[in-house]
Amino acid sequence: EPPTHLLAEVLTCQRDTPSLDLSLTLDGQRLYGFDFPGSRWLPALPDLPPLPPDLETPAELRLDVKLCQDVLGWLGPQASRVLPEARGTPVAQVFPALPPALGEANTLVCLVENVFPPALDITWTRGGVPVTQGVTQGPFTPTPELTFWTLSHLEVTPERGDVFACLVTPQGYNTSVVTYWVPPEPLEVPELPMVLCGAAMALGGVLGLLGLSLLLLSRTDPQGTFWGIPRGGGRRSLKS
């Protein structure tokens, strides 16, 4: 049975920021996003071809947007009185884009999932100090589970003792989800003299045991005499 895929076009309108978003996704991966000021679809990846302009005209999309905003303005206040507000608890993880090494430029990625509604702030700290330079954040991408995910990037050059943190704060809340990342320490390699000293001591021990074994073997004759004393007891001469 061939695998199934989900191609979805999701329009989001809300009172929080971003107030309006339209995306075309495949299996929860963003392919295109609609630029409302420019009235055009923008590819999420540079290798994607442009969408045909007559696939959905800007006028048709504006009708959908007006319907969404009208429903939000009318149904929102009514539903808030009788229905609990749907909220998701964000889940974040931080990882480097490249294998980390102290003193080498890298990019930290903060992946935030289980986002609903798509309205939250992502900030970074380094050693407890807020960082704003080198920070970028991607759009919110809908998933087949009706939640959203997003990415935030931080350009860094990690040093020994650094502690980075990604703070995710849903809009309108005073609590944040905090995820830390610490650059790994390089493996300590023993100094060469100590390695040679240890190898010499081990070799000396092996040679010592070997010499003792040869000495014991050399003092044993074919008749079973060991150190000049017959095995059978009594005394006898070693010469015939």
pLDDT digits (tens, 9 = 90+) for 163-203: 999 999 999 888 999 999 999 988 665 554 554 555 556 55
- H or E element that contains 26: strand 20-26
Hunting for tokens 């959908």 — which residue is that? 64
Phi, psi angle pair for 29, to nearest 5° = -110, 130
- Of the listed ranges 51-55, 138-142, 215-219, the one predicted with least confidence: 215-219
The answer on pLDDT for 220 being more than 60 is no
**pLDDT tens per residue across span 23-66:** 999 999 999 999 988 888 999 988 999 888 777 888 889 899 99
Closest by CA to 151, choosing from 130, 137, 171, 141, is 137
136-157 burial, b at 16+ Cβ within 10 Å, e below that, comes to eebebbbbeeebbbbebbbebe
User: What confidence score (pLDDT) does residue 209 get?
Assistant: 58
User: What confidence score (pLDDT) does residue 70 get?
Assistant: 92
Alpha carbon distance 140, 170 (integer Å):
13
**pLDDT tens per residue across span 75-86:** 888 887 787 888
Q: Which residues pair with 181 in a beta bridge?
A: 164
Tell me the pLDDT band of 152, cut-offs 50, 70 and 90.
very high
Q: Return the CA Rg of the chain.
A: 36
User: What confidence score (pLDDT) does residue 182 get?
Assistant: 97
Tell me the pLDDT band of 117, cut-offs 50, 70 and 90.
very high
The DSSP code for 108 is E
What DSSP assignment string belongs to 159-178? -TT--EEEEEEETT-S--EE
Neighbours of 162 (CB within 10 A): 14
**Between 108 and 216, whose confidence is greater?**
108
Q: Is the dihedral of CA 118, 124, 130, 131 positive or negative?
A: negative
Ordered by where they begin, the domains of the chain are 7-80 (3.10.320.10), 91-181 (2.60.40.10)
Measured CA to CA in angstroms, residue 23 lies from 1, 42, 45 at distances of: 29, 9, 13
The answer on pLDDT for 92 being more than 90 is yes
Upstream peptide bond of 117 is cis (omega within 30 degrees of 0): yes
The separation between CA 165 and the C-alpha centre of its own chain, rounded to angstroms, equals 13
The answer on pLDDT for 148 being more than 80 is yes
Measured CA to CA in angstroms, residue 56 lies from 11, 28, 37, 64, 175 at distances of: 13, 21, 16, 11, 40
Average per-residue pLDDT for the chain: 83
User: What confidence score (pLDDT) does residue 233 get?
Assistant: 45
Contact 154, 134 (CB under 8 A): yes
